[in-house]
Amino acid sequence: MLSRLLMSALALLAMPVIAATPVLLVHGGAGVIRESLTPEAEALVRQDLESALKAGNAVLQAGGSSLDAVTGAVRVLEDSPRFNAGKGAVFTHEGRNELDAAIMDGATRKAGAVAGVRHIRNPVLLARAVMEKSPHVFLVGAGAEAFAKTVRIQTVDAKYFRTEERWRQLQKAREAEAKKQASSLGRAVHYGTVGAVALDRQGHLAAATSTGGMTNKRWGRVGDSPIIGAGTYADARCAVSATGWGEYYIRAVAAHDICARVAYAGKPIAKAAGEVVLDVIPKLGGDGGVIALDSEGNFAMPFNTDGMYRGWIDQDGGLHVAILADGADG
Ligand code: ASP
């Protein structure tokens, strides 16, 4: 009898642990200006955020990994012309599109990132290939594109990324610069970076971020998005993807600071994220927002801009999309 009890206890221990109900959060960038958002534009943005959530959630509901979920969600947003990532990326001062992306697997803390790529249709896929198929973490420019060829990542003509709206934004930024108005690198009207964080059934977290950076950027400028710990970070307990004025997110090492507050100070994810986004970064002079998720499915999406395109599927399975502050429009 005793041995049978012992056997069944051992069998229970050997069973795979279903640790978590999946959660998925996505963002499509901070810095929305209310007046600039027509109802038509808003409807399309909402549709895209929903499609991204559905793509990621399909993976999670099928028992797939958080890594696959964030890859799938970010890929959908990169393919939309309405976000500053992949197609629709902002232009550099010289009129080029230079794309950055990163991905991190919380369970293993493996990571991959690329910066300044100009012909990669889905930079998040290249970041993932860097993580899985190279001995490195971060590849840039021509070298990253040479690596892409060796792992059969899809390349496109540079023209693929162009949208007229982003081109107009560059002309405006350059005019403002010529007139010595507020720097186009500050208070950008549209940031539009995209990102996702997810918790899968195994209780594993992942984060991914993809961006064209900031309009009118120069000299090979790279923002926070592809920098592990600044714009993207995941560990066993916490995953973060950021958007906003990248220079400040780098200086604050924002994503890692949030997760460090969770790990070392035992702070709830909402408090940790709020402290960094609403206190540390504004005090330095920056702005933006994050999506942040912990291994129990608790999450927060603080931002100190007018709005942040964002969506989430919580543990009840409900799909939500919001743009302005307080989710009042969600
Ligand atoms: N954080 C991005 C960067 O600085 C911009 C954004 O979030 O849209 O490159």
330 is a domain residue: no
CA 91 – CA 270 distance, rounded (Å): 34
Q: 64: Cβ below 6 Å to ligand 1?
A: no
Could you tell me if 217 and 99 are in contact, meaning their C-beta atoms sit under 8 angstroms apart?
no
Q: What are phi and psi of 44, to 5 degrees?
A: -70, -40
Residues in the chain: 330
Chain centroid offset of residue 263 CA: 21
10: in domain:
no
For ligand 1, say whether the CB of 101 is within 6 Å of any of its atoms.
no
Position 12 in a domain = no
Is 212's C-beta closer than 6 angstroms to any atom of ligand 1?
no
Q: How many domains does the chain have?
A: 1
Alpha-carbon gap, residue 157 to 81, rounded angstroms: 16
Cβ atoms of 127 and 208 within 8 Å: the answer is yes
Q: Please tell me if the CB atom of residue 72 comes closer than 6 angstroms to any atom of ligand 1.
A: no
* Domain annotation covers residue 229: yes
Query: 244 C-alpha to center of ligand 1: Å?
Result: 5
Q: Which domain holds residue 76?
A: 18-324
Mind giving me the DSSP string for 201-230? TTS-EEEEEEE---TTB-TT---STTSBTT
Q: Is 226 in the pocket of ligand 1 (CB under 6 A)?
A: no
Residue 32 pLDDT = 77
What's the pLDDT score for residue 182?
Answer: 56
CATH number at residue 293: 3.60.20.30
220 CA distance to ligand 1 centroid (A)?
Answer: 14
- Please tell me the predicted confidence (pLDDT) of residue 184: 46
**Residue 221 alpha carbon, nearest atom of ligand 1:** 9
Q: Specify the long-range contacts of residues 280-283, CB closer than 8 Å, at least 24 apart.
A: 280/252, 280/254, 281/244, 281/248, 281/249, 281/252, 281/254
Tell me the pLDDT of the chain (330 aa) as tens digits. Answer: 556 655 555 555 555 555 789 999 999 999 877 777 889 999 999 999 999 999 999 999 999 999 999 999 999 999 999 999 999 999 999 999 999 999 999 999 999 999 999 999 999 999 999 999 999 999 999 999 999 999 999 999 999 999 999 999 999 999 988 887 655 445 555 578 999 999 999 999 999 999 999 999 999 999 999 999 999 999 999 999 999 999 999 999 999 999 999 999 999 999 999 999 999 999 999 999 999 999 999 999 999 998 999 999 998 999 999 998 865 554
pLDDT value of position 289 = 97
Q: Give a yes or no: residue 224 inside a domain.
A: yes
Which residue of 84, 191, 218 sits with most ligand 1 atoms within 8 Å of its CB, as the best mutation to test the pocket? 191
Residue 312 lies in a domain: yes
Do the Cβ atoms of 199 and 236 come closer than 8 Å?
no
Q: Whose CA is nearest to atom 9 of ligand 1?
A: 213
User: The tokens of 88 are what?
Assistant: 């629709």
- Global pTM value: 0.93
71 given a catalytic annotation? no
**Residues contacting residue 7 through CB under 8 Å, at least 6 positions apart:** none
For residue 208, the cross-strand partners are 103, 196
| Atom from ligand 1 closest to the CA of residue 249 | 1
Assigned domain for 13 exists: no
Query: H or E element: which one contains 250?
Result: helix 246-251
The one catalytic residue in 193, 209, 215, 243 is 193
Q: Is the CB of 210 under 6 A from ligand 1?
A: no
- Inside any domain, residue 7: no
